[in-house]
Structures are given as structure tokens and as C-alpha cells.
Structure 1
């Protein structure tokens, strides 16, 4: 792994982004998707207020059952219908909840996602004497 891949400084910035904006829960765990009634949200779903994303509605957050103030993973979604890429934050999810979120987001052939887990490495260029 190179110094620029999945390093602690990147995740520090993601945590700052999350902690400096208010999370607005739009759909609680168990709610039906507004367009696809057969899809049930596996965890709370919301957006960070006063942030920007490809949809310009704010950065998406999937919040699990564990209390946490740090982002544990990111999901990158490729959507060929919307012709875009989206980044989603994962917060306080158990491994089982992460898997359920991935199944929820990968339910169609038009959108596929990958999960990037938090790294803890500090790059050599970030160390000082």
C-alpha cells in the first residue's frame, strides 16, 4: 500500500466533515423506499445538512445501531441511470448492518457499490521530528 492509500489523515478529514455538520435522518430503519416499496432501509438513512454531493442534496449517511462519532467506512456507488458516482458515509454499523446496506444499495443492475473500510496507517510524509 502506498502512503496515499487509505491513510489516517484522509479519515480524519471525513470525521471532521461529519462532526461539523448536522445529520438529518430522512428514513428510519425499517422504512420503505419511496419509489420501490419492496426495499426496506436496513439502518437509519440521512444526509449531512449544509454539504454538497453529486445530487446537491447533501452527503448521504447510513447510521447503524452502534454509537460512534467516527466514520467507519465509505461506500462508492456507480449509477448508470443517473450517470454519476456517489459517496456514502457509514457510521456505527456492525458488520451485519454493513452487509445489509450493501445488499440494499446493490438491489438493481443499474447501480453497484463497493465498501472502503477505514484505514489507520499514518503516511511517512505526515510524520514530523
Structure 2
């Protein structure tokens, strides 16, 4: 995958404030049976397919290192989105992916390629 894609996302992350509007353990406002397993929010000042900010999963490390993106398709809502994984461990990456793959939507994980040294 193009390094320019990842660099463009890095710029968005660097230039935006991360807003966590659904802290780990809180329930989804429309689906109370869904509790967020990680901090979840968005990049302030950006726009995603649903009209809100670009979604982010924030790992426990608290860093803003972008390691992967999750692409989602919701056939019921008829939309698709990108979710950035910031500071997520491998375990947290798998948790975010599992949460994004449910009876309402399907998700695909795209990992950032390792840089060649």
C-alpha cells in the first residue's frame, strides 16, 4: 500500500485533536447491549462517511501511533467508514476488529506496512 496514504493519515492525526466520546466500558447510545472494549472517538475537525469526524480506536498506551485502519460496511445503514487504530497493541487491534465485525456490519483490517530499514 502506498506510503503516501499512511503519511496523509499521519498528518490528519497530527493536526487534529482526538476526542474520546465513548470511553472504554461505556455503552453505545443506540445499542445499550454493546459496551466499548476500548476508548472510541473521533478526530475533531475531520469528516467521515457518516458526516461525523473520522473514527478512532485508542489503545491503552495512549500514543497516537497509527498502526492500522479498519474499513467497515454497514449494509443496513448503507454506509462505509474508516476507523483509525491509534496506539493499539496486537490484542487491542483484534478486540477492535471483533467489535467492528458484528450482526450489523462487516469489517476488514488493513495493517500499516513495516518500514524498510
The two structures share one fold, judged by TM-score above 0.5: yes
- Residues 1:76 and 2:71 are matched in the alignment: yes
Give the match for residue 111 of structure 2.
117
- Point out where structure 2 has 5 or more consecutive residues left out of the alignment: none
Q: Distance in 2 between matches of 1:38 and 1:86?
A: 22
1:21 counterpart = 2:30 = no
Structure 1, gaps ≥5 residues long: 1-5, 123-129
Question: 4+ runs of 1 displaced by more than 4 Å?
Answer: none
TM-score normalised by the chain length of structure 1: 0.83
Between the two proteins, the alignment pairs up a number of residues equal to 116
Structure with greater Cα Rg: 1
Say if 1:64 and 1:94, in contact at 8 Å, map to a contact too.
Answer: yes
Q: 1:80 deviation in Å?
A: 0.3
Instruction: Verify the 8 A CA contact 2:24 2:38 in the aligned structure 1.
Output: yes
Q: TM-score, normalised by structure 2?
A: 0.91
Match of 1:60 in 2: 55
2:84 counterpart of 1:89: yes
